[in-house]
Amino acid sequence: MTALTGRVSIVTGASGGIGQAIAESLADAGSSVVLGYGRSTEKAEALRTSITERGGQAVAVQADVSTAAGAAALVKAAVDAYGGLDIVINNAGITRDGLFMRMKEADWDAVMDTNLKSVYYLVQAASRQLLRSRYGRVINIASVAGLMGNIGQANYSAAKAGMMGLTKTLAREFASRKVTVNAVAPGFIETEMTASLGAEIKARLLEQVPLARLGQPRDVADLCLFLAGDAASYITGQIIQVDGGLVM
């Protein structure tokens, strides 16, 4: 028996760098995991295979998180496969960067829908199961961009800041049912999302990070594992940074 034995989780964006690490951590701790993904079927299936080969339980579900139907499909998969739902990790996210004065409405909307409205859809769809669980955990993967802003990321930083406000309200509304709601705000983490940054930009970013390295997906996953477990039952409504000291 491990820390999350018998718990059922949904991780969105499980085909991406951070989502994969979170899903692996939860599965290794004994949780059954619904691996939500958008387009990367091969990556999601490879992750499902590696989790099950290690003795864990996982199903991969293609579901567009920016739609109500996608959220409903993820919750249905959890209930059908594992009989309930305890832990929701809202991790799927995109960037559509550009200076604000030239930012296209389509890029604003895409980032809002994928990074913020997705949380509305999935927590609404999951709320009955979570409240019934009397254990529930919601963990929203935000970003330091939502705290400090970032040139070229008006849409992204607004969505991530919105996620933080939503986290605090949900924490208050769900507290009486023992459901905790927290946000994790990563700094610069080495994944596909940051892979396209040039060497010069990366070097400049690192100058601002006291711990002087990019974060790894595992750094974020370790905090999510803690927040998903019993040891974090008295923590709710918090925004916790995993950023090497970038924002303090």
For the annotated catalytic residues, the residue numbers are: 156
Query: In whole angstroms, what is the distance from residue 171 CA to residue 199 CA?
Result: 39
End-to-end Cα, the chain, rounded Å: 38
Kind and range of the H or E run holding 58: strand 57-62
194 in Cβ contact with 93 (< 8 Å): no
Q: Of 24, 64, 86, 107, which one interacts with ligand NAP (CB under 6 A)?
A: 64
Q: Of 193, 197, 206, 209, which one interacts with ligand NAP (CB under 6 A)?
A: 193
- Residue 56 as a binder of ligand NAP (CB under 6 A): the answer is no
Only one residue has tokens 């949900």, namely 170
- Residue 65 as a binder of ligand NAP (CB under 6 A): the answer is yes
- Residue 66 as a binder of ligand NAP (CB under 6 A): the answer is yes
What is the phi/psi pair of residue 216, to 5°?
Answer: -110, 150
Nearer to ligand NAP, 133 or 153 (CB): 153
- Residue 42 as a binder of ligand NAP (CB under 6 A): the answer is no
Angle, alpha carbons 160-162-165 (nearest 5°): 120
- Residue 192 as a binder of ligand NAP (CB under 6 A): the answer is yes
CA dihedral (148, 154, 158, 160) in degrees, to 10, reads -70
Query: In whole angstroms, what is the distance from residue 20 CA to residue 76 CA?
Result: 21
Q: Of 143, 153, 157, 182, which one interacts with ligand NAP (CB under 6 A)?
A: 143
Q: Of 3, 40, 81, 177, which one interacts with ligand NAP (CB under 6 A)?
A: 40
Query: In whole angstroms, what is the distance from residue 112 CA to residue 115 CA?
Result: 5
- Residue 140 as a binder of ligand NAP (CB under 6 A): the answer is no
Stretch 77-106 residues interacting with ligand NAP (CB under 6 A): 91-94
- Residue 114 as a binder of ligand NAP (CB under 6 A): the answer is yes
Query: What x/- string results for residues 152 through 191 when contact with ligand NAP is judged by CB under 6 A?
Result: ----------------------------------x-xx-x
Query: In whole angstroms, what is the distance from residue 10 CA to residue 157 CA?
Result: 24
From 12-20, 98-106, 131-139, 230-238, span contacting ligand NAP (CB under 6 A): 12-20
Q: Which of 70, 22, 32 is nearest to 52 (CA)?
A: 32
Binding footprint of ligand NAP on the chain (CB under 6 A): 12-13, 15-19, 37-40, 64-66, 91-94, 114, 141, 143, 186, 188-189, 191-194
